[in-house]
Structure 1
Amino acid sequence: MSSEDYQLSRVIDAHKDDVKAVQSTSEGLIISGGHDHCFRFWAKKGGEFSEVSSFPQKPSVHVNSLGYFEGNGEWRLFAGRRDGTITVYGPGSTAEKPLHTLVLHEQNVACLFVDEKQELVMTGSWDKTCVVFSIKEMDNESPQILRLVGQAQILAVHSLPEKDLYLTAGSDRVIRFWKKDTEIRQFTGHKDVVRALSVRSNEQFISASNDSTIRIWDIESGACIGKISSNFDSYIYSLTSLGDKLVTTSEGGYIEIWEPQAENKLLFQNQQIIKTPAQSIWDACFMLNGDLVTAGSDGRIYVWTTNEKRKAPQAIIEALDAALAAQTAKEAEIAEKQAGGKVVIKVALDDGAPSLELIYEKGTDPSIAAEKFIRDNDLPISYLSEITEYIKANIPEARAAVAAKMKPQETQRVEVDGEKWDYAFDISVDDGRKLRLCYNTGEDVDYAAQRFVEKYNLPMKFLAQISTFLRQQMTEAGATKGYTDPYTGGSSYVPESQTNIGGSVADPFTGEGRYIPSSFEPTPMDISSGDPLTSGGRYVPGSADSSFLPNSSRVVDKKKPQSEYCPLSKFYFFGVEQLSQKAKDKLKEVNSTQEIFQLNETQIGALEEIMCPKPQSLNVEILISAIELGLQWNIKDILPIVDVFRIALLHKELNQVFCDLKGRGADSHQRLTSLIVSEPSDAVCAVLCRAISNAFAHSWGQEMLMKNVEFTTTVIAQQVLHTKPVVQLAASTALANWAYLLLQRSEKVAELGPREDLIRVIIKVFENEISFGGKSELALVRLMQAIATLMWGDAAVIKLAKQRNIDNIVNRIKDGVVEESSKALARDIIEMLNAVTL
């Protein structure tokens, strides 16, 4: 170890949870903030650090960022908290009575920077704003606050030495340069979120990112003049400097020390790597004596020094080494277990030797392994379904993973709605309902699927999915025509689909035969070739039946993929099946509280009638008067009326009344959009988006929704990012309906403008969304359907989408969906983009 290398000095058991931020003072104190709702001051006495004061925060308020200021003989500590507030402490303040509690943000204050020379504070938040304020003016009744708006979630902020110049960075991977509150320039290049900034001068700064890179930027030109990569493929969480020395901390508990290169001072070279037992090192700072302080996810503060006198006692060093050895052993054990859960399949291309390895991890989606294999070996995408089907056919854990979402109930003559069935499956749909899918042994699965779809008024696109599900479940249970029901006893089941395979073919897992996928002729296979899973045989892709090819590989014109999802072939609507008796009861309950706009009994009766699945007769005039009156209710009461209104829009006459631009159309349009932008409750927002979807049912509604289309679609697209799945689905359905309407119109007349406008809207709304994980899968499918349908068959629109990097959005959506059919739709969109050249 070099004399200039950092060695362990002390380990402080500082917090009960993650230490998220650390600061140091001129007097040698360490300040730490943690997820245990507290920040603490630590002083070194007799060679050891001990707590000298603590400031507990209210429960559930994590301290995520700290900033410390010393000047004019006083000190100030700024603590950024998860609830969006910033508490300010100084001489004489206590945990219960800080000097100030600043309410500057609506969400977590993720980063905080104090510029001691300019005496200002910068804060960045998940609410997508950065706030700059003067420390001197905090005591004023109306301090001046500068708010920088235009970024996604802000994770790093920094000021420049020159006054009024600022940098912000965050989850959109973009670094922004500001003069006061005006954005001057953007710095792009990082492939993941930017978490840390460090300014070298008015001309240069440094950034660190989750993409494991550190970049040096020239401010005047906006160019990246240097890039270095971490030694580890892990997120970089912090970046701090002392003179020319640079320190980064990262996931995996790593600390990396960097020094300028001798031949090029603009670039850095790695001087030292330090490993800690913590899973993450969240933050770092230098003390006045040059020691390095780091914040660990294990609740500890690790202090490092280059001074031999401040080196830790041997017992502490040995304890650290033992902790690292235990961690290494645990990681090796985990790796061994993971390796034990993998299946290696030897793959041969054409007539070659089985030289390629396809690795499947048991219990995961087989399409993931197939897709990785294709990507790693630069193979045609047409192999995807074939390889996926082979994995599913031969590895039980793969079949279990695919079927994990919907498992059959093992019942014996289940009674549903007064009828007895051999099987009943619980099927959950995206609107929250749990529906019963019934099936009798021997009946046509397609007929059973159609019965189910029609009974519950589901979109017909579910028909193929339900049929496939039934076939899979019945094959596994052995319950198809001609064989005894295994749940009621009787003879063994022999799958019908295997009767045409050669009798001499052995199970691939036994090592007695060679498997070639899609070879369904009754020709014996080579017995001597061996099991592909035991490396004694080979799997040859490319001989599969065309039914296994993805849609993007079947079509001749890649700009016009054909599948159950693409392009859209009809509008989607939300019918009366979403209503219940509770909706009618709620209507009466809310109406009874109205003083000015109360509906009479006749009007209530008319609304109840239209809420029935099969209304006997509709009194249009009374319905119009009731809806008009109800729409004047306060927004907190309006839910039941909007719910009736969206049903009314499905009826031709009422759609004309409320949507005709020659009549009430403009008012209806304005009312719907105004209610959405007024940030209503989740339920109201969902029903408003459903109403817009239902307006497409007739020509008057279609024309109404083409009015001010760019603004309206932007408002609706933003709701796809809502936290509630029911809102996401309603909003994405509306976007899909716009796309289908524009496709219909483009087939009749060359009307490119609106399609291009909607593509721009989608890109603008979703381009900064880093992850679609957790979003409703059906909502994401509808969104992709909208994108695919807008682009379908039109090179100009596809080229525009490609120029705007819509492929990045689609790939992130693809990562957020689970079903293979959903991922296939994403691949079809990518194929459309690849079909045109820029």
Structure 2
Amino acid sequence: MSKKFKLSASLFGHSLDVRSVVVTNNNSIISGSRDKTAKFWTPNRIDTGYTPIQTFRDQKNFVIAVLYLEPTSEYPDGLVITGGNDNTIYVYKPSEPFATFTLKEHTNAVSCFSKYSTSNNNAFLSGSWDCSAKLWTLGNSTSTVTFSGHLAAIWSIIQLADSRIVTASADKTIGIWSSEGARLNSLTGHTDCVRGLVDLSELHQFVSVANDATIRVWSYAGESQGVLYGHTNYIYSIARCKSAGENCFVTSDEDRTVRFWQNGENIETIQLPAQSVWSVACLSNGDIVTGSSDGVVRVFTQNESRYADEATLNKFNEEVEALTRQSTQEIGGYKISDLPGKEALYDPGRKAGQMKMIREGTGVVAYTWVEDGDKSHWEKVGDVLGSTDKTNQDKTMYEGKAYDFVFSVDVEDGKPPLKLPYNKGDDPYQAAHNFLAKNFLPASYLEQVVDFILKNTQEKYVPPSTEYVDPFTGGSRYTPSTGNNSQDFAGRNFDPFTGGSSYSTSATQAKQTVSSSTISSQVSKFFPINTYRTFEMGDSNVILVKLKEFNEKTGDSQSPPVNEHYLVELVKLCNGPPDDPNAFDTLFKLLEWPDEIVFPVVDVIRMAVRFKKNNEIIATANSGSLLRKLLSFINENCNIINNVIVALRTLSNLLMHEFGEDLVFEHRFDVVENITALGPLNKNGQIALSTLLLNLCVASLKKRDDLGISVLADVIPDILTKLSDPESQFRSYVALGTLLSSPQSAEVKAKVKSNVGFISALESHVLSGQGDLEEKRRNCASQVQEILNLSF
């Protein structure tokens, strides 16, 4: 029986994710990273380690793919090839840091390479997010063949032993091509993006891996030969292990593992201390090389003579165990294992005071960005406390803590229920008070909530989601009435945009006030807010017209536009769950349209997620891939204003229901980081931005996210000073007022008062105002001024 794989070496040098690794025949390694560099590593001949002999820096953006062409008479040292998000291919001699050739034909990120067998070995294949693949022969300034027909990005390309080309695409299909570029076959079976391919030439088979967590074996004739299971998340990479036999390969994925497969069986699983194992390769000596999200290249071996020393092995095992434990822990609902490692500190901050939570060892540490000219740096704030082990099966987890009971209380139709947590032995009055204060509910309900707790905790078990008694009505659901009680219940939940409450826009309700120990006795008619503000307006017929127009621009003879029937079914999502569930497949397919024309697709999502079922399906599809797409539209590199606006509006609407709310909350720091880097926006963009900030405040308060509240208290004053639209400024003041009315008001107040630029803007807004919009802004700003105890 073969020995287990153990760590042989860890190669440090990249500052961000290692997205691609390949190897040479003499067991050297080439790695490509999000830090915009590729590195050439050779065995150091002293121990099991490697030495970086060259760094290639021409790529202007992330390096996604690397390739090595073995030596020829023309290039005796071989060639290193890199491709990335700048759409460019660079070809290097290993001894030179600057490219010998630069190839520019792809119109989107270059995502994959592979060798192409010819008589001189100076040819290779490339694949791109522009949905095309190309064959290149060095010496020619242009590609010799283009493979077109996929509807989404190409993630892998290989040449079979019979010279045919195989491509794997995000459109969930595998393409088979002649060497002249003709599409011979299209294989279906995977239910998500196909990420990797490998040729088992001796068996006349090839293997594919995908985001659907499956491995599929195919005959050269295109017939399915079986499906292999074992991974639990996206599979990113696959590589052939020729030294272990004709039917042996390794795979890597998003579940922190590398799996070793032989004759269709998962022989061994290697765990890594990194969330994403982006790439895997096999050396000729049987060792396995990995590139992962922590920026480290690692080598694993079965040969005892190449095992790392005991101290290194122990440290590696401790890191794996720590990450395994952290996968069951949370801080304020944020999974510790999902936080970045210290490699994230290589990225400079976007502004002074920006916060980052970093996973270090067995805990989490908060850092803040300190602006100091050339000496700007991330400064450690301290350990972040509050992580809770979720493996306690006798408790119910809520916001990172374990409780004996977590009751669900419905307070409004169509809105998520409020959670009332309680532990045996707690003071029921304190628990009831905390519940009312957190949700800005009237203090007059204190006795009813206490009675509810005492009644329901007499039972040994109370289900967390059903079979409860509502503390306000004694029934299973609260339905607001039109009488005084509904006005009292609405309490402080007034709509700042209409002047009315959530339930009515009547003027009398807008004057209602509720006292609470957590807020000022002088009640604001504008804040605090405890429900999300959304973007409801939209005409599905107008969107359909625009989709049809753009649809005609996307196709060609080999990849025709989407049938208009599917577009008609798609826009039905705007008005509720569709009759045809395939509408969701069409939605995510069209979401891969070029950035210049994709905004009506995102607008469909914006309207669709207002409905709970749509929200659930869209938010959970492809492990929340929508969020990553939206983030790509709200960053400093996005100059398409339509995309920015619809992305901001969609993020606000996602929060309406629990699935979208969980998705946005999980990535709230990424969202905040991106929006702080946005350039100037027009009026619609400013309104979308300020509304999203307000909703993030509501989410942070709802989930008792202390760190999120602290970050927003830093960010909102800065953003407010850059806004020029009175309505957007008003909404930002509502957001600040909501934070200042929270239990964390002292910390928020200190942060806001220390922002000199904001205080100057506040004074200007308090002392000026003409017209209804500016008058509304002035009144709200004045109430913020009163809470801050400032005089102008």
TM-score (norm 1): 0.47
Larger Rg: 1
TM-score (norm 2): 0.50
